[in-house]
Chains A and B, each alone.
Chain A
Amino acid sequence: MSSPNSSRDALPSASTEVELCDALVAVAENSLFALAEPMEDWSVECARSGPPAAGWYLSTVGFRGGFIGAIELAVDADLLRQLCMAFAGLPPDGPLAEEHVLDFGGELANMVCGTWLTRRCPSGRFDLDAPRVLQTPRLPAPPFAGASQAELWVSLNDVPTRVRLLLSPDGQA
Chain B
Amino acid sequence: MTQTPLEPGTPGPLNILIVDDSAMMRAVIKRAAAMTGLPLGAVLEAANGREALRLLETTPIHAVFTDINMPVMNGLDLLREIAARPQLADVLRVIISTDGSTTRRAEAEQLRVSLYVEKPFRPEVMKDVLSELVARRPPVG
Binding site for B on A (CB under 8 A): 26-27, 30-32, 84, 87-89, 99-100, 103-104, 106-107, 110-111, 113-115, 117-118, 121-130
**A106 to B, closest residue via Cβ:** B22
A155–B102 alpha-carbon span in the complex (Å): 31
Number of A-B contacts (CB under 8 A): 77
CB-defined contacts of B122 to chain A, threshold 8 Å: 30
CB-defined contacts of B84 to chain A, threshold 8 Å: none
B25 interface residue per 8 A CB criterion: yes
B23 adjacent to A126 (CB under 8 Å): no
A107 adjacent to B25 (CB under 8 Å): yes
Total interface residues on B, CB under 8 Å, equals 23
Main secondary structure of the interface of A (DSSP, over half): helix
C-beta contact mask, B92-135 vs A, less than 8 Å → 1, else 0? 00000111111110000000000000111110000000000000
A114 adjacent to B98 (CB under 8 Å): yes
Given A31-B121, A124-B103, A127-B69, answer yes or no on A104-B24 (Cβ-Cβ < 8 Å). Answer: yes
Which of B98, B103, B104, B121 is close to A113, meaning CB atoms less than 8 Å apart? B98
